[in-house]
Amino acid sequence: RVHALWTLEGRAAISPAVVLDALSDSDRGVRMAAARLAEPWLKLPGSDAIIDQLVLNTGADDITELRQMVLSLGAHGNILTHMGIRSALYNHADKPYIMDAALSGLAGEELEFLELLLAERRWRTAEHRAGVIEALSDSIFREGRPSRVGKLIYSTYGRRIQGWQRLAILRGVARNKSKGKPVYFDEKPKMLTVLQKSKNKEEAKLANSIDNLFLWNGKPGVKPLPPLRPLTDAEQAQFTQGKQLYTFTCATCHQGHGRGQAGVAPPLVDSDWVLKSDDRLVRIVLQGVAGPITVNGQKHDLEMPALVGFNDDQVASILTYIRREWDHRGEPVKVATVKNIRAATAGRVDPWTEPELLKLK
């Protein structure tokens, strides 16, 4: 029956009804295959019944099956799939590989997931699952985005937040003390000051121990960031158009959060290829790039195809978007720049290589 399912998929003859039926099959292998085949439908309207069955299947005793259900739920993040992942973590976070499976499907959405988790009544007494909150906090901090790290710190405030939850959030941030990259704010997060002065000695000790991970204008010894130039009306229009184009084209590989996917696409967040040279960035988009290429210190042996079918204005809009999204502070890319580089490289057929691009300023 497993072979039959994959044969139907190979012939493009599989249907949601078949997948839903297979998810409740008595055979574990059939259920696991159905979970993998269900993933493309999770983002489509009318998928609630499939998601409900995947969630029901997270009650499996078999670790391999449970892990597959969690991985499949993470294939597309929405309220229902995240509810299923929270349920799996609440019941099974201590089992091998379940935490990793859950986090792999949450990339870029950990903050939103944590906020909903903290709002759930049952998690207020789940101190035995503090490791879940700690891991989420660690992932959010490692994103390095001031807006999101700021929300993480402020999530420690409120009448409903439990002391053990607050400590778990701080411990997650503290995981980055030795090798973590500091996050730069316009001013010191007020909640960090509150935590550092907490009457709870453990809270205060943890909050003070992570002070070096938070930089801000006016902090002794910290060089202030130059003020961010506001976009003009025309540039803002470019940014808005670029966001729409990115969502429907680039996000498939680089993801909406810009952190990429292992084995598929490298990250755009904090990448010098995005934030520095116009000449390099525009060429990558117009003609593509072939690996190996080093991004944020990691080597990626991947190939990005040329972004064909887009005019100069659309290309400039996408590049303007990725230079200002995700807390980036880059300058917009001008339409004239794209036009000139397109003309100068009109005879280029092959994708660029890293050595070629590095010769450009």
User: Is residue 214 a part of any domain in this protein?
Assistant: no
Tell me: the pLDDT tens digits for 270-328?
Answer: 899 999 999 999 999 999 999 899 999 889 998 999 988 999 999 999 999 999 998 89
User: Is residue 71 a part of any domain in this protein?
Assistant: yes
92: CB partners within 8 A, 6+ apart: 58, 66, 98
User: Is residue 244 a part of any domain in this protein?
Assistant: yes
In eight-state DSSP terms, residue 219 is S
Confidence of residue 338 (pLDDT cuts 50, 70, 90): very high
Task: Using alpha carbons, select from 104, 48, 117, 95 the residue that is nearest to residue 71.
Answer: 104
Top-ranked range on mean pLDDT: pick from 15-19, 37-41, 180-184, 204-208: 204-208
Query: What's the whole-model pTM score?
Result: 0.75
Q: Could you give the number of structural domains in the chain?
A: 2
Exposed/middle/buried for residue 201 (C-beta within 10 Å: 0-12, 13-18, 19+): exposed
| Domain boundary, last residue among 78, 107, 136 | 107
Contact 136, 110 (CB under 8 A): yes
CATH code: domain of residue 352? 1.10.760.10
The lowest-confidence range among 98-107, 166-175, 349-358 is 98-107
Contact 216, 188 (CB under 8 A): yes
| Domain boundary, last residue among 70, 87, 107 | 107
Tell me what pLDDT residue 225 has.
80
User: Is residue 118 a part of any domain in this protein?
Assistant: no
Domain coverage including residue 306: 233-358
Higher pLDDT, 23 or 165: 165
Contact 191, 157 (CB under 8 A): yes
Helices (H), the chain: 2-10, 16-23, 28-38, 48-57, 63-73, 79-92, 98-104, 110-119, 130-143, 146-154, 163-174, 190-196, 201-209, 233-248, 251-254, 272-275, 278-287, 312-324, 335-344, 354-358
User: Is residue 303 a part of any domain in this protein?
Assistant: yes
In eight-state DSSP terms, residue 352 is B
Tell me what pLDDT residue 215 has.
94
What the block records as the tokens of 118 is 């903290």
What the block records as the tokens of 250 is 């680039």
| Domain boundary, last residue among 92, 107, 122 | 107
Beta-carbon-side half-sphere exposure of residue 68 (alpha carbons within 13 Å): 19
User: Is residue 213 a part of any domain in this protein?
Assistant: no
Confidence of residue 63 (pLDDT cuts 50, 70, 90): confident
User: Is residue 204 a part of any domain in this protein?
Assistant: no
User: Is residue 17 a part of any domain in this protein?
Assistant: yes
